[in-house]
Structure 1
Amino acid sequence: MKVEAWIFGMCGIFFALVTPAYWVIAGDWTGTSALTMATFLALMVAAYLGFQAKRMDARPEDRLDAEIADGAGEYGFFPPFSWWPLWCALPAALAVFAIAMTAWWLFVVAFGLAMVAAVGWVFEYYRGAHAH
Structure 2
Amino acid sequence: MLAMERIGYLFGGFAALMAVIYGFWNDWSEPIGVVGLTMGALMGFMMAGYLAITRRKLDGVPPEDDPLGQIDDIAGEYGFFSPHSWWPFWLALACAIIFLGLAIGWWLVAVGVFFVIPATVGWVFEYWKGPRAL
Q: If the length of structure 1 is used for normalisation, what is the TM-score?
A: 0.72
CA distance, structure 2, for counterparts of residue 73 and residue 102 of structure 1? 46
Q: How far has the Cα of 1:126 moved from its partner?
A: 4.7
Gaps of at least 5 residues in structure 2 are 130-134
Aligned ranges for residues 51-130 of structure 1 at < 5 Å?
Answer: 51-57=53-59, 58-98=61-101, 100-103=104-107, 107=110, 109-126=111-128
Q: Deviations over 1:46-72 (max 9, x none)?
A: 233223323322221011221122122
CA distance, structure 1, for counterparts of residue 100 and residue 75 of structure 2? 46
CA distance, structure 1, for counterparts of residue 46 and residue 120 of structure 2? 34
Q: If the length of structure 2 is used for normalisation, what is the TM-score?
A: 0.71
State the identity %.
Answer: 37
Structure with greater helix share of residues: 1
Pairs aligned (count): 125
SS in 1 for 2:81: coil
Contact 2:55 2:62 (C-alpha < 8 Å) held by counterparts: no
Superposition RMSD on alpha carbons, in Å? 2.7
Aligned-partner residue type, residue 17 of structure 1 = L
SS in 2 for 1:124: coil
SS in 1 for 2:79: coil
SS in 2 for 1:77: coil
Which residue of structure 2 aligns with residue 17 of structure 1?
Answer: 17
Which residue of structure 1 aligns with residue 47 of structure 2?
Answer: 45
